[in-house]
Amino acid sequence: MLLRQVFDPYLAQYAYLIGCQKTGEALVIDPERDIDQYQKLAAENGLRITAVAETHIHADFVSGGREFAQDPSLHLYLSDEGGPGWTYVWPGSRPNTHLLKDGDTFMVGNIKVEAVHTPGHTPEHMSFLITDQGAGGDEPMALATGDFLFVGDVGRPDLLESAAGAKNVMEPSARALRQSLTERLARFTDFLQILPAHGAGSACGKSLGAVPTTTLGYERRCNLPLKLAVRDEEEFVKDILQGQPDPPLYFATMKRVNRDGIAITGGVRSSHHLTAAEFRRLITDPTVQVLDTRDDRTAYDQGHAPRSITCPLRTPFFSSATGSFLSESDKILLVVDDQADVELATRQLYRIGFDHVVGWITAAEGAAAGLLSEKTEVVTFSMFNASQALSKGAIVDVRTTAEYQSGHLDGAISLPYTRMKEHLSHIPKGKKLFVHCASGKRASLATSFLRGLGLDAVHVDGTYMKSGSSCSLRR
C-alpha cells in the first residue's frame, strides 16, 4: 500500500492518495478542484486513480470530485447520510457513483475502505477507515477523518449556521459532534493513524495543530476538545461554540457548488499578459476587480491601481480575502510581483471557484506606465491616538469577534474582515474610518476593500496588544 498526503499550505488542506501497489489502483480522498496534481503524483508512483471519496460537502474549497467524475469509469464514493438538504445533487444518475451509508465498504485493489458516519461538523460527514488487506492486515491502520477530528482539535459544528445560513442548528450539531467523538471512536485502538483534512491556518477549527498526522492514542491523551467531549457534554458544547474564527463569506458558496455542482473546465485556465493600455482600459469597467497580490503591504500603500484590493499571494489571507470581498461573477485583473506568481494566483482562485481571471500585469510594468497612482493613508499604532480618531470619525476593528470580545479600543466597531461585505450597513456614513487589526495585515486588506468602495479609510499599521483590562499600543 502507498499513502501520500497532498498539502495545500494556503488553504491548510490535506488530500490523500492511497494506492494498492499490487494492482496499480488508487483512491483520492478529498481532492481539490485542480486534479492534475493528484494525477501527476499517481503517475509518478506507477498508479492510476480509479476512485474518489469525499468526507463531506466542503465549505472552504471546490471539490475535485466533479472534475474527476468526467471519467465515467471512475468510482465516486459520497455520503448518503444526513437527510434532506445534505444529499449530493450534481452526480445525478452518473454511472459508478456510490452513495454510502454507515458501515458500507468498498475495495481499491487489496485495500478495504469502510465508511464511518461521523456527524457534527456537518450532518452527512463520513470518515474512512483504511485496512491494508494486501499486506495481510486484519485491523485498520488509518482513519481519514475529514473535518471530524484534527491534530489537537475537532471539527467546528457552527458553520452550518455561521457560514451557510441554517437556523438554530449550532447547539444540536455540537451535541451530535460530541456523540460522534465519544461513540464512533470508542471501538478503535490507540495505534490507529489519524489523517485529517486540515491543519494549522484553516478556518475549519480554532486550534488545529501544525503536525500533519497523528494517532488516536495521542489525541486521546492530548487533544483537549476530545478529552472534554468524553468528560462533560455540557462543557464541551459550551467550549466548542466559543471563540471560533469568523468564516469567510465564500464558505456559503462552496457549500452550494459542492452539493449542486460547478462548471467543468478541465483544469486551471491560462491568463493573458496585458499591455499597459489594455490594463488601463479594463480598470474602467465596474464589473472588473483588481487584485494586487504583492506580499509587501507597504509597497501597496505607497502605490496601487484604483479600486484595487490587496490580497498577498503567499499567505493564508489570499483565499480568505478574495473569497470575502469578491463575487463569483467578477472579472479579475492581477497585479503580481513577477510572472512566476500568475500560475499560483490563478490556481488558488480556481480552487475557491473564481474562474474569470481576465489578465495580469507586473507591479513594475504598472508603475512604469503610471497605473499605480493611488496611495493609502497610513498611521502607525505608535502615532495613533484613539480619542482623536473618534473625534474625526470611527475606529473599525477587523479582528475576529473573539479577539474583539477579549479586549478592544473604546468606541471601536467590530467588523471582522471576512464578514465585512455583508455588514456594510454598519459602517458609519460620511466618516473617516480608522481600520486596525492586531498586526496591520488584516487591516491592510480591509482598508483596501473599503477604499475601493469610495470610503475614506485609513490603514492603522503596526501591533496592537491588550494588557490586563486595558488596551495598550506598541510597535
In percent, the amount of the chain with pLDDT more than 90 equals 92
Q: In Å, how far are 403, 443, 444, 454 from 293, measured between CA atoms? A: 26, 16, 12, 21
The pLDDT, as a whole number, for residue 134 is 87
The pLDDT, as a whole number, for residue 135 is 85
pLDDT at 472 over 60: no
pLDDT at 467 over 60: no
Determine contact, residues 38/17, Cβ cutoff 8 Å: yes
Separation between Cα atoms, residue 98 and residue 101, nearest integer Å: 10
pLDDT at 468 over 60: no
User: Which pLDDT tens digit goes with each residue over 181-208?
Assistant: 999 999 999 999 999 999 999 999 899 9
How many other C-beta atoms are found inside a 10 Å radius of the C-beta of residue 364?
Answer: 12
How many other C-beta atoms are found inside a 10 Å radius of the C-beta of residue 429?
Answer: 6
Mean pLDDT of 35-46: 98
Return the domain boundaries, the chain.
2-260, 272-368, 378-474
- The two domains 2-260 and 378-474 share their CATH topology (first three levels equal): no
Which residues are CB-contacts of 268 (< 8 A; sequence separation ≥ 6)?
A: 34, 36, 343, 346, 347, 350
User: Which pLDDT tens digit goes with each residue over 98-108?
Assistant: 999 999 999 99
The pLDDT, as a whole number, for residue 466 is 54
pLDDT at 236 over 70: yes
Q: In Å, how far are 35, 37, 51, 155 from 40, measured between CA atoms? A: 9, 5, 15, 30
The pLDDT, as a whole number, for residue 84 is 85
pLDDT at 51 over 50: yes
The pLDDT, as a whole number, for residue 388 is 95
Mean pLDDT of 332-355: 97
Mean pLDDT of 71-91: 95
Which residues are CB-contacts of 401 (< 8 A; sequence separation ≥ 6)?
A: 246, 414, 416
User: Which pLDDT tens digit goes with each residue over 353-367?
Assistant: 999 999 999 999 999
Separation between Cα atoms, residue 66 and residue 91, nearest integer Å: 8
| SS3 label, residue 386 | helix
How many other C-beta atoms are found inside a 10 Å radius of the C-beta of residue 371?
Answer: 22
User: Which pLDDT tens digit goes with each residue over 371-385?
Assistant: 999 999 999 999 999
Separation between Cα atoms, residue 121 and residue 85, nearest integer Å: 15
pLDDT category at 465 given cuts 50, 70, 90 is: low
pLDDT at 148 over 50: yes
CA dihedral 439, 441, 447, 453 (to 10 degrees): -150
pTM equals 0.95
The pLDDT, as a whole number, for residue 470 is 35
pLDDT at 96 over 60: yes
Determine contact, residues 330/287, Cβ cutoff 8 Å: yes
- Measured over the CA atoms of residue 92, residue 94, residue 100 and residue 101, the dihedral's sign is positive
Please, what CATH class does the domain formed by 272-368 belong to?
alpha beta
Mean pLDDT of 392-415: 96
In total, the chain counts a number of residues equal to 475
Which residues are CB-contacts of 330 (< 8 A; sequence separation ≥ 6)?
A: 287, 288, 289, 354, 356
Taking all residues of the chain, what is their mean pLDDT, rounded to a whole number? 95
CATH superfamily of 378-474: Rhodanese-like domain (3.40.250.10)
The pLDDT, as a whole number, for residue 224 is 97
C-alpha grid cell, residue 274: 496585458
pLDDT at 316 over 90: no
**DSSP string across 245-279:** PPPPTHHHHHHHHHHH-----SSPPP-EE--HHHH
**DSSP string across 420-459:** GGGGGGGSPTTSEEEEE-SSSHHHHHHHHHHHHTT--EEE
- Residue 127 identity (one-letter amino acid): S
Phi, psi of 356 (to 5 degrees): -105, 60
C-alpha grid cell, residue 449: 476593500
Mean pLDDT of 52-72: 97
* CATH 1.10.260.30 describes domain 2-260: no
Separation between Cα atoms, residue 111 and residue 204, nearest integer Å: 29
Separation between Cα atoms, residue 317 and residue 294, nearest integer Å: 12
User: Which pLDDT tens digit goes with each residue over 246-257?
Assistant: 999 999 999 999
How many other C-beta atoms are found inside a 10 Å radius of the C-beta of residue 158?
Answer: 20
The pLDDT, as a whole number, for residue 401 is 95
